[in-house]
Amino acid sequence: MLTFRLAGLLAGRYRSSRRPELFAWSAGLAAYAVAAAAIAWGEAAGWDDRAFRVYYAAGALLTAPLLGAGSLLLAGHRRAAPVVLIYLGLAVGIALAVPIHGVFAAHGIPKAQDHLAFLPARLLAIVANIAGTLAVVIIALRSFRRRPLGNGLIIAGIAAAAAGSALAGLGAAGSAIGIAVGAVLLYAGFVAPAHIPPFIWPKMANR
């Protein structure tokens, strides 16, 4: 619910400002939230093809590319918008059509290699996640001096999201913690001001 709320706040900012990067970031956080909801669905009702497809589509195929597209749009790369729209159609189509094999365990986040062939879904997820994450990190580093607080939070959010994925082996709780922390840090980074107003200290009278 927290990540959905943050995505909604970004969408509200987009409606008032019409800045395209806010729309992409909102969609990225919404995909992140859907992946978290799919984890809850799978853990509560038992993992099956439906829960896994939603989890894989939102978490593995959509989140990082959408966040990366937002960073590219912020940097003025407007061609990122049509490219990511084409990619979204491809990713959703693959997530819906790709065969899923193997038996799901009752609990524990399923590993992609146990249920999906390498081509096309797993390869697409690897390429898309690398490209999206690199876009976020490189653009954050390039503009770090101009916007240190926001970009520092964005990098920390990406690190927290990666840690959440690494903790997936410990169960849904570990992954959920990483998702929540990552979402908060990313949101804070996206909306942080470019400059922090300095503290104004009372002037000491000369003696």
Structurally, how many domains does the chain consist of? 1
In a domain, 104, yes or no: no
Q: What is the mean pLDDT of the chain?
A: 89
- pLDDT recorded at residue 175: 74
φ, ψ at 99 (rounded to 5°): -70, 145
- pLDDT recorded at residue 203: 43
d(CA 57, CA 65): 12
Could you tell me the pLDDT band of residue 161, with boundaries at 50, 70 and 90? confident
In a domain, 82, yes or no: yes
- pLDDT recorded at residue 97: 96
φ, ψ at 105 (rounded to 5°): -70, 160
- pLDDT, mean of residues 103-123: 93
Query: Which of 5-9, 105-109, 116-120 has the weakest average pLDDT?
Result: 105-109
Residue 163 has pLDDT above 50, yes or no: yes
In a domain, 206, yes or no: no
- pLDDT recorded at residue 174: 59
Burial (Cβ within 10 Å: 0-12, 13-18, ≥19) of residue 15: exposed
In a domain, 88, yes or no: yes
What pLDDT digit, counting tens, does each position of 45-104 carry?
999 999 999 999 999 999 999 999 999 999 999 999 999 999 999 999 999 999 999 999
In a domain, 203, yes or no: no
pTM value is 0.90
Cβ atoms of 78 and 22 closer than 8 Å: no
- pLDDT, mean of residues 199-206: 40
- pLDDT, mean of residues 188-201: 67
Decide: helix, strand or coil at residue 12. Answer: helix
φ, ψ at 65 (rounded to 5°): -60, -40
**Domain membership of residue 70 as a residue range:** 2-99+110-191
In this structure, what token pair is assigned to residue 168? 């997936």
- Cα–Cα distances in angstroms (integers) from residue 136 to residues 45, 141, 176, 189, 190, in the given order: 35, 9, 22, 11, 11
Helix 20-45 and helix 63-74: axis angle, to 10°?
170
Residue 18 has pLDDT above 80, yes or no: yes
In a domain, 200, yes or no: no
Residue 27 has pLDDT above 80, yes or no: yes
Residue 38 has pLDDT above 60, yes or no: yes
In a domain, 58, yes or no: yes
- pLDDT recorded at residue 78: 95
In a domain, 207, yes or no: no
Could you tell me the pLDDT band of residue 194, with boundaries at 50, 70 and 90? low
Identify the residue with better confidence: 58 or 1.
58
In eight-state DSSP terms, residue 111 is P
The amino acid at 122: R
- pLDDT recorded at residue 178: 81
| Angle CA 71–8–111, to nearest 5 | 70
